[in-house]
Amino acid sequence: MKKILSLILCLCLAAGMWLAAAAEEQVGSNAFLLKIRDESGLEITYLRFDVYVKEGDSEYYAGFACSCPNEGEDFYRFEYEAADAEELKNLRIEVSSVKSELPPEEAILRAMSEQPENGQHLLTLDFVPEGGKVYDLKLVPGEGDTWILASADVPRATVRYEGVFMDNDEVKAMLEGIRGEQPYPEMTRNYHITTVFAPEEPATDLYGKEVEVRVIGYKACEVADEEGILSSNEGLKVVLHSDDPAMAGYLAGIDKNFHMTGSYTVAARNTEYIDFSDMEPVDYTIKGTFGANLTGIGVSFDPADIGKPLEETAEGTGK
């Protein structure tokens, strides 16, 4: 009898993978839904979920389900409906990834109708699912050669902006040599030249590359942004150069008023709107490094920092 139930469960779960997309994101009180976004770095044709149910001192195999993202979605689905909510406390769910040469739908149909592929075991679900719950999760690398399901709600490091970062002491000394005392009360935390703010596709291949920064002018003035917000800012007009062909090509493709902010009163970003046509000419050359300012981390030159779970610490502002 259990084998028959197992087969029915297996087929129902598989059908549910495609039907769930059209339904509202709700499940019954005896069911739960996992929505898993893949950030594992693995090559995955589909995910396989093997379900075991504990019964007394033993457990039985209840079947398996396979899932690939539905059209227009970027996540895998696994929905399970039990006879009652108590049964959910007695589940063991093993998650595996399968790589096939077939398209995902064909590979899943073959797995359901023939001998299923074992694939690569990734993890055992490590929490007791609650009835009526929809779980938004991410499949991410764990420690060593392991993978875990992390809550999609866990904050992760994202790119605030990319740019060229200089040694703070070197820039501070240069500014003092140009204008003496600091004219405005607020000071940039990390001296940098922004290339792109919140890039859709971070230029991670260039992180860590050296850039020559030639400072050609200085100006301090009151300036308004596009919304009319006034701030008194001092700025350095700069020209960027790199001997690296990829870095040079990247810089040449950006049409921007390259500048560096010193001190300011209200908003560091207003330096972008300074008209440097009447700047005080200066001539300094310093070295910088291309990288990014990340939420919760600050300045980083390591692409692996992007997407890292953030600790419960204060975020660096990276002004």
- What digits encode the pLDDT tens for the residues 98-130? 999 999 999 999 888 877 677 899 999 988 999
Whether residues 261 and 298 share a domain: the answer is yes
Whether residues 165 and 278 share a domain: the answer is yes
Task: Write the CA distances from 272 to 7, 258, 259, integer angstroms.
Answer: 65, 8, 7
Q: How many domains does the chain have?
A: 2
Q: Which residue has the higher pLDDT, 26 or 282?
A: 282
Per-residue pLDDT at 193 exceeds 70: yes
Q: Which residue has the higher pLDDT, 150 or 309?
A: 150
Q: Which residue has the higher pLDDT, 315 or 112?
A: 112
Q: Which residue has the higher pLDDT, 110 or 240?
A: 240
pLDDT confidence of residue 22 = 39
Q: Which residue, of 120, 151, 182, is where some domain finishes?
A: 151
Q: Using pLDDT thresholds of 50, 70 and 90, give the confidence band for residue 144.
A: confident
Q: Which residue, of 151, 186, 202, is where some domain finishes?
A: 151
Pull the structure tokens for residue 207.
Answer: 């992180």
Q: Using pLDDT thresholds of 50, 70 and 90, give the confidence band for residue 310.
A: confident
Whether residues 69 and 133 share a domain: the answer is yes
CA distance 58 to 67: 28
Whether residues 21 and 133 share a domain: the answer is yes
**Percentage of the chain surpassing pLDDT 90?**
68
Whether residues 6 and 118 share a domain: the answer is yes
pLDDT confidence of residue 11 = 38
Per-residue pLDDT at 311 exceeds 50: yes
CA distance 21 to 103: 19
* 114 inside domain: yes
Q: Which residue, of 151, 179, 200, is where some domain finishes?
A: 151
Whether residues 139 and 194 share a domain: the answer is no
* 55 inside domain: yes
**Percentage of the chain surpassing pLDDT 70?**
88
Q: Across all residues in the chain, what is the average pLDDT?
A: 87
Average pLDDT value for residue range 150-155: 74
135 close to 128: Cβ distance less than 8 angstroms: no
Strand, coil or helix: 172: helix
Average pLDDT value for residue range 60-83: 91
- Across the chain, the runs of DSSP E, i.e. the strands, are 31-38, 46-55, 58-67, 75-81, 91-98, 120-124, 133-141, 147-151, 159-166, 186-187, 192-197, 210-224, 230-241, 259-264, 280-294, 298-300
* 137 inside domain: yes
- Print the domain residue range for 250: 159-305
Average pLDDT value for residue range 167-180: 96
Tell me the pairing of strands 192-197 and 210-224. Answer: unpaired
CA distance 311 to 36: 22
H or E segment at 174? helix 168-179
Q: Which residue has the higher pLDDT, 26 or 103?
A: 103
Average pLDDT value for residue range 198-204: 93
Whether residues 107 and 240 share a domain: the answer is no
